């Protein structure tokens, strides 16, 4: 170690070190053919500001690769020899982030339209053998790591890498040759140390240096190799054999990576616009299991119709330049767990009363989080958004009253509706329900009122005889009892029977409650006499039971009392 340090001081790097850092090539615009119009003006402004302050500055990484392929990059990164503090002092809205790698976010604009240019300081290429070593990881060794600039754990994984260095060393510590090129938008020159332009032309994804060593330094490079392989496969890129071979053997190194970092890398893998391709790449490279439990579940359920539709929808939105939320995709992946737990809780258990649908759903959501996500992100904003999407689903079933109007104003309504739409496409709910809500969400207030009113009428039970939908009769309606003659009734109603010697009327009125008391008593007497005569004649039809009537409050005997069967009313 002392000999290496002395060699560095004396500048004796040797041929081995020279080969490690590569040979610098300045490639002019006439050769690389980058179209300057594809470069974001905000990235150009950052480079200009740094260079005017006396620093080196280049556009780096995937942006240069995309520019070489004639594509418009979605993100722009800048590398400079200015320290994070010096960068921050040059821009009004700049923020230093990160511990393992300290970088600066320069922010343009506000709200959803804001753009972030990531500025990193060029780093020195240091051998892990020269770094300070700690026994634990980021969590267990926070105290030790607080004052270190270059540190590794027992397996050689880099925990701190904040030693600044020249451009050739910064290029050597990057992952892939096609991501290790530097573009100067002022001179339009591409600086290339590791034949990145050649690999881009040959459509080859190749790791800089020994792949197994690079995976050991940072095991997350395993996931990045899969992600870049899937992302560039559509452009005809293939992973170099020496880059691919150590992937499976290095997989166990991911066990020492913090769960939160693996969670973030999983989200990147699924939100690049190539989620389905990334899953196929994991399978093709023998990494379908063993990277991260939740990612294993995504791969396992990728062929499920509901999850597959969600993955396709995410890829489509990214391709169209629309924003995507990880909460939506993960809510789709875990919906099977939530739905099964929900249905299980709603089943009756003997004499025990089942919980309300919302309470049962809440318990099922908690169970799914505890089993699949834990505390990694289940209690943060992402977890909150997932819960809102799930808890919104029962509310879509209610389409009357004020519920639809309040639901459509919820901030997460669109995500909840998109979730409902996927459920309808897979046959879990009726497509008419999704169509109704899509129409309701885009309609004006009058149309929404009409839709809710029509749904209320459709939900009412059918009237007697099944002649149509039942409705509430209002006093102003012509068929209200107080508005006119009572509606006719069938002749065989037991409350109305023909008097002896008279033909049975075609209809009797149900409005006896509005008739004078004397009329009601007379009807009772007539009914009793008729029943007695019929019974005495031995008619085939049995005697019909007459109704009991309440006696009048007046004194003396009344005509409302009932006699024996077929008997007369007492005087």
Give the residue numbers annotated as catalytic, written as ranges. Answer: 75, 77, 175
Instruction: Tell me the two tokens of residue 484.
Output: 């006119």
83-98 burial, b for 16+ CB within 10 Å, e for fewer? bbebbbebbeebeeee
Half-sphere exposure of 33 (CA within 13 A, CB side): 8
- What is the spatial distance between Cα 510 and Cα 494, in angstroms, rounded to a whole number? 11
Q: What is the residue-wise DSSP string for 40-104?
A: -HHHHHHHHHHHHTT--EEEETHHHHHHHTT---S--EEEESS-HHHHHHH-SSEEEE-SSS-EE
Q: β-strand 189-192 against 181-184: which pairing, if any?
A: antiparallel
Instruction: Choose among 216, 226, 101, 239: nearest CA to 160.
Output: 101
- What is the spatial distance between Cα 244 and Cα 235, in angstroms, rounded to a whole number? 18
Give the H/E segment covering residue 113: none
What 3-state class would DSSP assign to 559?
Answer: coil
DSSP-H helix ranges across 393-476: 403-407, 413-425, 431-442, 445-459
- What is the spatial distance between Cα 524 and Cα 11, in angstroms, rounded to a whole number? 124
What 3-state class would DSSP assign to 479?
Answer: coil
Tell me, rounded to whole angstroms, the distance of Cα 24 from its chain centroid.
46
Burial of 121 (0-12, 13-18, 19+ CB in 10 A): buried
Instruction: Choose among 286, 175, 176, 299: nearest CA to 237.
Output: 176
**Long-range contacts, stretch 513-520, CB < 8 angstroms, 24+ apart:** 514/481, 514/486, 517/552, 520/549
Beta bridge partners of 189: 184
- Find the radius of gyration of the CA atoms of the chain: 40
CA atoms 275, 276, 278, 283: torsion sign: positive
Tell me, rounded to whole angstroms, the distance of Cα 76 from its chain centroid.
27
- What is the spatial distance between Cα 250 and Cα 252, in angstroms, rounded to a whole number? 6
Neighbours of 448 (CB within 10 A): 17
- What is the spatial distance between Cα 245 and Cα 225, in angstroms, rounded to a whole number? 12
Instruction: Tell me the two tokens of residue 79.
Output: 């590398």
Instruction: Choose among 468, 470, 395: nearest CA to 433.
Output: 395
């Amino acid at each position: 170690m002392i000999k290496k340090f002395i060699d560095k001081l004396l500048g004796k790097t040797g041929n081995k070190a020279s080969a490690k850092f590569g040979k610098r090539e300045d490639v002019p615009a006439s050769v690389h053919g980058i179209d300057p119009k594809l470069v974001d003006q905000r990235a150009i402004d950052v480079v200009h500001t740094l260079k005017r302050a006396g620093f080196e500055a280049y556009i780096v990484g995937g942006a240069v690769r995309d520019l070489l392929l004639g594509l418009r990059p979605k993100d722009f990164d800048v590398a400079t020899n200015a320290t994070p503090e010096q960068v921050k002092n040059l821009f009004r809205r700049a923020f230093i982030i990160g511990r393992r790698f300290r970088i600066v976010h320069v922010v343009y604009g506000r709200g959803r339209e804001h753009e972030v240019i990531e500025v990193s300081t060029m780093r020195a290429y240091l051998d892990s053998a020269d770094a300070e070593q700690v026994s634990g990881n980021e969590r267990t060794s926070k105290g030790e790591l607080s004052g270190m600039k270059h540190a590794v754990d027992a397996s050689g994984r880099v925990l701190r890498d904040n030693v600044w260095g020249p451009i050739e060393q910064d290029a050597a510590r990057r992952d892939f040759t096609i991501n290790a090129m530097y573009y100067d938008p002022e001179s339009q020159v591409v600086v290339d140390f590791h034949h990145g332009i050649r690999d881009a032309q040959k459509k080859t994804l190749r790791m800089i240096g020994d792949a197994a060593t690079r995976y050991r330094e940072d095991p997350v490079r395993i996931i990045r190799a899969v992600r870049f392989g899937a992302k560039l496969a559509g452009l005809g890129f293939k992973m170099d054999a020496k880059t691919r071979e150590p992937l499976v053997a290095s997989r166990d190194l991911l066990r020492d990576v913090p769960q939160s970092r693996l969670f973030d890398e999983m989200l990147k893998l699924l939100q690049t616009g190539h989620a389905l391709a990334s899953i196929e790449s994991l399978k093709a490279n023998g990494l379908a299991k063993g990277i991260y439990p939740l990612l294993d579940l995504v791969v396992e359920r990728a062929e499920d119709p509901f999850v597959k539709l969600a993955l396709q929808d995410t890829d489509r939105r990214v391709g169209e330049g629309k924003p995507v939320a990880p909460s939506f995709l993960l809510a789709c992946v875990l919906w099977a767990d939530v739905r099964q737990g929900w249905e299980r809780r709603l089943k009756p258990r003997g004499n025990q009363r089942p919980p309300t649908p919302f309470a049962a759903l809440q318990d099922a959501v908690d169970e799914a989080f505890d089993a699949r996500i834990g505390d990694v992100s289940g209690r943060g904003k992402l977890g909150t958004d997932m819960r809102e999407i799930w808890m919104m689903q029962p509310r879509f079933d209610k389409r009357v009253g004020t519920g639809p109007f309040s639901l459509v104003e919820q901030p997460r309504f669109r995500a909840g509706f998109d979730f409902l739409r996927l459920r309808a496409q897979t046959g879990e709910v009726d497509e008419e329900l999704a169509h109704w809500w899509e129409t309701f969400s885009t309609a004006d207030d009058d149309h929404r009122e009409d839709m809710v009113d029509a749904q209320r009428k459709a939900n009412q039970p059918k009237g007697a005889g099944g002649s149509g939908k039942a409705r509430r009769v209002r006093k102003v309606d012509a068929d209200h009892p107080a508005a006119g003659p009572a509606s006719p009734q069938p002749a065989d109603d037991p409350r109305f029977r023909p008097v002896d010697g008279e033909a049975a009327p075609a209809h009797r009125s149900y409005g006896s409650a509005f008739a004078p008391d004397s009329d009601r008593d007379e009807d009772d007497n007539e009914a009793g006499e008729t029943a007695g005569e019929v019974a005495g004649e031995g008619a085939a039809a049995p005697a019909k039971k007459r109704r009991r009537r309440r006696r009048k409050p007046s004194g003396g005997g009344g005509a409302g009392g009932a006699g024996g069967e077929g008997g007369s009313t007492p005087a």
